[in-house]
Amino acid sequence: MSSAALLQFASGSSAISRLPLGKKSMNRQSFLSRRQLLKRFALGASLGTVAASGLKAALAAEAPLLAVDAPEAKAVHYVEDAKQASAAKPGSNCATCGLYQGPTGSARGPCQLFAGKDVKASGWCDSWVPQL
């Protein structure tokens, strides 16, 4: 090793310090960019979760209630109270039907027969089938 190289090493000067300024600062900028990217990713993930839950709530808005005089309701003899249906057996109502998709204990919910409309849980129609 030459004396010039030894002096350069002892003074703390190295090949890295002789790189153009842009190269040295680019590593620092890359580190900050990764940090900013990770922060933004975390923020985006949390905001995405909040937005998705808001969207789910908006999509879960109640559908209109099926009218008893609607053609599709008349076709299956739908009534809003199973006690009014002479053909209904005790305990058979929309809430106990296999086609009813409302949550347990709800007053109304969707039925597979009537797309986009809710039926009353206490209702009944000719298409009643027991839940499996």
Q: How far apart are CA 65 and CA 94, in angstroms?
A: 13
| Alpha-carbon span 110 to 131, nearest angstrom | 15
Residues pairing with 124 in the sheet: 79
For the chain, 132 residues long, the average pLDDT of each consecutive 10-residue run is 53 51 54 76 79 63 90 95 93 95 94 94 95 88
- How confident is the model at residue 46, as a pLDDT? 80
For residue 114, the model assigns a pLDDT of 94
Helix (H) or strand (E) holding 109: strand 108-111
At 1 the pLDDT is: 54
pTM: 0.55
- pLDDT computed for residue 22 by the predictor: 52
Rounded CA separation 129/131 (Å): 7
Tell me, what's the pLDDT at 108? 95
- What does the alpha-carbon distance between residue 132 and residue 128 come to, in Å, rounded to a whole number? 12
